[in-house]
Structure 1
Amino acid sequence: MSEPRIASITRYPVKGLPGIVAEGAVALEPGRGLRWDRSHAIENGRVRVETPAAWNSREAYFHVARYEGIVRFGVALDGAEGDDPVLTLTAPGGDTASAPLGTATLRGSTVNALLGDALTAGPAGPVRLIRTGATGLWDWPEAHLSFINLATVAALESTAGAEVDPRRFRGNILLDGVPAWGELDLLGRRVRVGGAVLEFFQPTDRCRATTIDPVSGVSDLNVPALLASRFGHMYCGVYARVITGGSVRAGDALKILDHTAPEAAPLDGEAGWPRTGRIVDRQTAGSRSASFWIADPTGLIGEARPGQHVRVHLPGEEAPAWRAYTISAIAPGRARITVRRDGRISTAMHERFSVGDDLIITGPFGDVTLDRAHERDVVLVSAGSGITPTTAMLRALAAERSDRRVRVLHVERSAADLALWEEVARSSAALGDASLTLHLSRADPDGVQSHGARAGRPTASDVLATIDGLDPTAVDVFVCGPALFAAEVRSALETAGVPSEHVHAEIFYSPAAAELTAPRAASSSGPHRVRAGSAEAQWRPRSGSLLDTMEGVGQDWPSGCRVGACGTCVRRLRSGTVEYLVDPLVPPPAGSILVCCAAPTSDVEFDPER
């Protein structure tokens, strides 16, 4: 990667309020980051803070995602590098108050009086500015510094067709001199910048706060939806810990101290994190497909369950610049995807990527996996590139020397197009009771003869033949192929007595255009009763979403984007009906809804937990 440099440095002395750009050199302190960054917060009176000096969740404080108007405050900090700087706040109405931040308590200060007049307190206590102790109220306890790449912001801006102010992301350090998404290459590495040493350990997930214009306080750009739909994840920026303190300033270069290869970097991550993988092998798989072995700096995709998939994200490609691929094989620290040359992203994979090239990955994802079978017999039905989960599942069954009976039916256009079929045959041969049936749908007499295949598409009778001699109530069927093909297979097998819950088909959702408009108005005037376990609330249009409603009665439900993009807030609906005020980018599982962007159209009841 090219050499990144610091473009600017910003500290946020009060969590949620605007930041202050540093002039000249600043000190970075181990375990703390910038002096006075997020050192103070404004209690909102909604959640009681038992230990003010400790790190606490943002829900106890005024924060931008819920209280967007706070970005209209003015903030100044005199003596920011000293032990007792003076904070000056200017309320949106123009009133001003100051207080020394080194003071142990701010009780009775004019700043608290100003905040009390400008903000509305909840039932748990008054609005007041508090000092948070030795560490700052960062998004995560060890996220001392947040970095934003200006080139990544420019890529978002280009995709959105609208200006994207970097201040939306509330980063401490803006980076220059690195391509869009190149900041992800820093994850798992230590770097020297100025006199300090940093360790980059986590990408930054984005929530509703980024929808808020940092000047007007108006939610006018759905950044989480933009990220999720056009780039395939909801992260922008990276976090760093301060390992060795020192002085830094704008213009300082970041020097990588370790040149560990991405496939061996000790990055402790999560499946949803975008990170830089490396192609370590490429193999031809039929006339139209190629297999890519990808090493993962977290090692997570090497632990994928058979049937799961990864997302590949290609910086530099026109958005939407991502696509999901089912994993066809795994090995420690890496996984293989088999890509058919079909579509813009898959064509780019064939034409642009070879051994040694880097690309961004997320995953593994998916619930349609072999471990759902619970030792029942297994039927694998696939078409075209749908052979990839079949291959992964057969490899796993062969490796564990499974005694389950296995039946495989695969459909391909011609013998030349076959990908991974020989591998499927080898894995099947290693099982005690397995049979294969191959259909070639186009006229291919030579291929039919050489592979012992059947000519033409399979009929319903061919599908039913896969369960001959098996108890239809005691099989698990995995189907992967076009939607119509999967529906036909499901219909035939359910008619023959296979329980619907035993027929599994993964659905990949294609990238959708980000919805950047404001939420729709609710169609119902209510009131409606909303229940989740023992918690109960009355919903009216002014209550907002179901998530807003339940938070109003003290429920602290996990949520991320609050715009229907991340899936964090999914809840199973027990009774009642709802409508979406913002269309979800990825629909939730059947019987569940995303409470962050839904409103009731009747009385409703939810499971209290996910």
Structure 2
Amino acid sequence: MRVARLFRFPVKGFPAEEIPEADVRTGRGIRGDRVAAFTNGSLDIPDDSWHRYSAFTVLKNDTDLQKWQVALDLAEAADSSQPAVADPSATVTLTSPQNETTTFRTDDRDTRATSADFLSARIPPQGDFPRALSVADQGMFDSQAAGVSIINPATVAAISQTADGQAALAPGETELDPLRFRGNVLVDGLAPFEEFALIGKIVRLGGVRLAITQAIERCPATTVNPTTTAVDVNVPRVLASACGHLHCGVYGRILESGLVSTGDEIEIEGDAPRELVKTARTPRFMTVLGSQQICNDIVEVSLRDDQGWIREFDEPGTNLRVHLDLGEPFWRTYTITDVSDDIVSIAVRTQGKGSRAVAELAAGQSVLASGPHGTMTANRVFGGTTALVTAGIGITPSLGLMRGAELSGTEKIKLFHVDRDHRTACLWDRLQKRAHSRQIPVETHHRDTASQGRPGHADLVDWLAGCDNVMVCGPADFTRAVLDASAEAGVPAVHQEIFASPNTGMSEAIAQCSPAEVTLENSGTSFLWEPQQGTLLEALEARGLRADNSCRGGSCGTCAVSLAAGSVIYPVEPAARIAADEVLVCSAVPSGPISLGI
């Protein structure tokens, strides 16, 4: 593993400069990296202090920034072994797409003000406050603590070769350019996604020591082609559909200053202090502890979360995503059936090459996983009289919902399960035991379609009469039948679970849904949503309605709006956590008539 290329970004949001050697300082990052940032007018902030990225003109909000050119001249540096201080002086020249230039010095307020006026005349504002070129001792990074970002080009190449990646590439392109990901360090010698194994480790690059603290979530800045400057590939959407997450690259906190050059070896020195590593649901490697067949073609696989993050976010009803390399990135979502300390168990049906590969993982192997994910948690599903209605392997979400939840406010639980020849009898027995262990009345119904046939509409309406909440999971036709019966039975809240995957991606999962009326409370208007319109965000935009958004992949939470009535489903479960009465319109579709607070 070695350093292949080095970059710095003198002005936040503007293009990079490639450099052969980097002077890296604790508390400051690479000298010359993010020495200034141009405010966007949305906030009134001082020009000599750090602020969150939302106050600045950045590439994800103004993709024309990639058309500018940047040149940097650094004053003589102090001894790199000394504690971090601001760069003594940096002279920055910015050249517009029309070949007009402006130059400022970071330590000179007058030249910064002149250049800010120049930029204000050429870059649209996002508010009415005066705009400025801001500087800060630690640099103008997204986080207040400076650091170094590392990108693995092998991962970028693997993403490019997926069906989603190839479909998104512009004519003549064969793969994505790693420079889209705006990293400081590009590395050689790692397999695709192997950089995630560095999280929680201390690494040495030349004379620099870093603690690798987190995976990097990608934003719409990656949609910009660094060569053509065109907005041509929705990278967050490709990541979400092809990889099951929105992450590419890792971030390092600087422990020891020094110089790093292209060609330097990268060595792992040991574990980083736990307090430096960000606890998250992001991709990380887990160790397989073992597996056991629990009935027919269903295997329960146990994994140890080596980072110990699973217990921080665990809720009954969540699921785990397993990310594999089967010639190209591949992922599957599995219900979490049990969590004990750092050990998580998932139920895997051994159908399809992906699930067979998961079921066949040997004890001691490492596998990339993320989560727990999911919004259909016990605290949202249960209340009053609650029915869990499932078919086949769709029983696993019920099993997950019943583990460890307090179920406060729940007066009665109804369990309805349909399968053929009792193929999921082991899971049905376990579910009943969990339900009957509660101090809540339980009603159970099992139907074997081999001997009793499928339940008809009247059967389902009768089952669901008097329910306050219904959760349904099963094949598409079964789910539609339960949704229709719930509507006729007058069930106030229906929760639908869909597990998307590379073979049943966003578009395919949405295609399974039925049309629904969407009411916009603030305007009093409504429209008929249909599957071909895509997500709620896409349907709103097609009607000229603006909804705040950023990642468009369910990760940042920017697009959350109030869900005043009805319920939605998420074809691919989002990572962002929102309130129970909110919906992420970039990732959701209606499961029936809904009302949005917009």
TM-score class, shorter: 0.7 to 0.9
1:342 matches 2:351: yes
Matched, 1:501 2:492: yes
2:576 maps to 1:569: no
Shift of 1:567: 6.1
Q: How big is each residue's C-alpha offset from its partner over 1:66-92, in whole Å with a ceiling of 9 and x where there is no partner?
A: 222222222222337633343333332
- Secondary structure at the counterpart of residue 270 of structure 2: coil
Out of 170, 181, 184, the position equivalent to 1:172 is 184
Q: State how far apart, in whole Å, the 2-side matches of 1:381 and 1:585 are.
A: 21
Q: Distance in 1 between matches of 2:443 and 2:99?
A: 78
Corresponding residue for residue 60 of structure 1: 55
* Cα distance in 2 for residues equivalent to 1:207 and 1:548: 23
Residues in 1 aligned to 2:349 and 2:417: alpha-carbon distance in whole angstroms:
16
SS at match of 2:60: coil
CA distance in 1, matches of 2:17, 2:109: 23
Task: Identify if the C-alpha distance between structure 1 residues 411 and 52 changes in structure 2 by more than 3 Å, giving closer, same or farther.
Answer: same
Q: Report the secondary structure of 1:330's partner residue.
A: strand
Paired letter, 2:8: R
Aligned pairs for 1:111-190 (under 5 A) are: 111-112=115-116, 115=119, 118-120=122-124, 124=128, 128=132, 130-159=133-162, 160-161=165-166, 162=173, 163-190=175-202
Letter in 2 for 1:244: E
Question: Using a 3 Å threshold, how does the CA distance of structure 1 residues 101 and 574 change in structure 2: closer, same or farther?
Answer: same
Q: Paired residue for 1:15?
A: 12
Q: Which runs of 5+ in 2 are unaligned?
A: 78-87, 167-172, 508-519, 525-539, 566-570, 590-594
The letter of the residue matching 1:313 is H
Amino acid of the structure 2 residue aligned with 1:430: S
Structure exhibiting the larger radius of gyration computed from Cα positions: 1
Alignment of 1:65-76 (within 5 A): 65-76=60-71
In terms of mean alpha carbon deviation, does 326-335 or 586-595 score higher? Answer: 586-595
1:562–1:394: structure 2 CA closer, same or farther, 3 Å change rule? closer
1:18-37 equivalence runs, <5 A = 18-24=15-21, 26-37=22-33
1:154: Cα distance to partner?
Answer: 0.9
In 2: Cα distance, 1:153 partner to 1:369 partner = 33
Aligned residues: 536
Query: What is the CA deviation profile of residues 87-110 of structure 1, one whole-angstrom value per residue up to 9, with x for unaligned ones?
Result: 33333223344444344552465x
The answer to whether structure 1 residue 93 and structure 2 residue 98 are counterparts is yes
Q: 1:596, CA displacement in angstroms?
A: 11
State the Cα distance separating 1:178 from its structure 2 match.
0.7
Letter in 2 for 1:486: T
Note if contact 1:225-1:564 (Cα within 8 Å) is conserved in structure 2.
no
Distance 1:304 1:120 in 2: 43
Contact map agreement 1:303 1:330 (CA 8 A) in 2 = no
Superposed, 1:433-582 pairs within 5 Å as: 433-434=441-442, 436-442=444-450, 456-458=453-455, 472-473=465-466, 476-492=469-485, 495=488, 497=489, 499-511=490-502, 557=548, 559-561=549-551, 568-572=558-562
Trace 1:171-250 onto structure 2 (pairs within 5 A). 171-250=183-262
Relative to 1, partners in 2 of residues 1:387 and 1:245: Cα closer, same or farther, differing over 3 Å?
Answer: same
Contact 2:467 2:491 (C-alpha < 8 Å) held by counterparts: no
Aligned to 1:269: 279
The 3-state SS of whatever aligns with 2:192 is coil
Measure the CA separation in 2 of the matches of 1:547 and 1:256: 52
Partner of 2:89: 84
Alpha-carbon distance in 2 for matches of 1:338, 1:16: 44
Deviation at 1:174, TM superposition (A): 0.8
Contact map agreement 2:469 2:491 (CA 8 A) in 1: no
The reply on whether 1:413 has 2:417 as its aligned counterpart is no
**Conservation of the 8 A alpha-carbon contact between 1:379 and 1:406:** yes
1:252 counterpart = 2:248: no
Q: Is the 8 A contact 1:116 1:126 kept in 2?
A: no
- Distance between the aligned counterparts of 2:403 and 2:555, measured in 1? 34
CA offset at residue 442 of structure 1? 3.4
Secondary structure at the counterpart of residue 404 of structure 2:
helix
Distance (Å, rounded) in 1 between the aligned partners of 2:152 and 2:471: 42
CA contact (8 A) 1:565 1:586 kept: no
Encode CA deviations 1:268-315: one digit per residue, 9 max, x unaligned: 3333x2222222231112121111122332523674322222222213
What residue is the counterpart of 1:392 in the other structure? 400
Question: What corresponds to 2:528 in structure 1?
Answer: none
Q: Spell out, residue by residue over 1:372-394, the C-alpha distance to the aligned partner (whole angstroms, 9 max, x if none).
A: 35553443332221221222334
Structure 2: which amino acid aligns with 1:64? Answer: L
When the two chains are superposed, the root-mean-square deviation of aligned CA atoms in Å is 4.1
* 2:7/2:185 contact within 8 Å kept: yes
Q: In 1, distance between residues paired with 2:472 and 2:264?
A: 54
Are the counterparts in 1 of residues 36 and 134 from structure 2 also a CA contact under 8 Å? Answer: yes
Alpha carbons of 1:387 and 1:85: their partners in 2 closer, same or farther (altered >3 Å)?
same
From the superposition, tell whether residues 348 and 93 of structure 1 become closer, same or farther in structure 2 (CA, over 3 Å).
Answer: same
With structure 2 as the length reference, what TM-score do the two structures score?
Answer: 0.77
Q: Does the 8 Å CA contact 1:408/1:466 hold for their aligned counterparts?
A: no
What do the CA deviations read for 1:159-200 (whole angstroms, capped 9, x no partner)? 323331121111111111111111111122222222222112
Tell me by how many angstroms 1:563 deviates: 7.9
Give the aligned partner of residue 532 of structure 2. none
Q: Which residue of 2 aligns with 1:520?
A: none
1:360 matched to 2:368: yes
Distance of aligned partners of 1:115 and 1:381 in 2 relative to their CA distance in 1, 3 Å threshold: closer
Q: What runs of 5+ residues in structure 1 fail to find an aligned partner? A: 444-454, 516-528, 534-543, 552-556, 576-583, 599-604
Q: Which amino acid aligns with 1:247?
A: L
Given that residues 149 and 180 in structure 1 are in contact (C-alpha distance below 8 angstroms), is that contact kept between their aligned partners in structure 2? yes
The one of 278, 295, 299 aligned to 2:309: 299
For 1:407 and 1:247, how far apart are their aligned partners in 2? 65
Which shifted more, 417-426 or 337-346? 417-426
CA offsets per residue over residues 345-390 of structure 1, 9 Å max, x none?
2122134x22222222222232323223555344333222122122
Return the offset for 1:407. 3.7
Shift of 1:488: 2.7
Q: 1:131 offset after TM fit, Å?
A: 4.1
Number of the residue aligned with 2:34 = 38
What pairs up with 1:317-336 in 2 under 5 angstroms? 317-319=327-329, 321-336=330-345
Give deviations 1:17-39, integer Å, cap 9, x for gaps: 21112223x32211211112101
Corresponding position of 1:539 = none
Distance in 2, matches of 1:388 and 1:14, equals 50
Q: Secondary structure at the match of 1:258?
A: strand
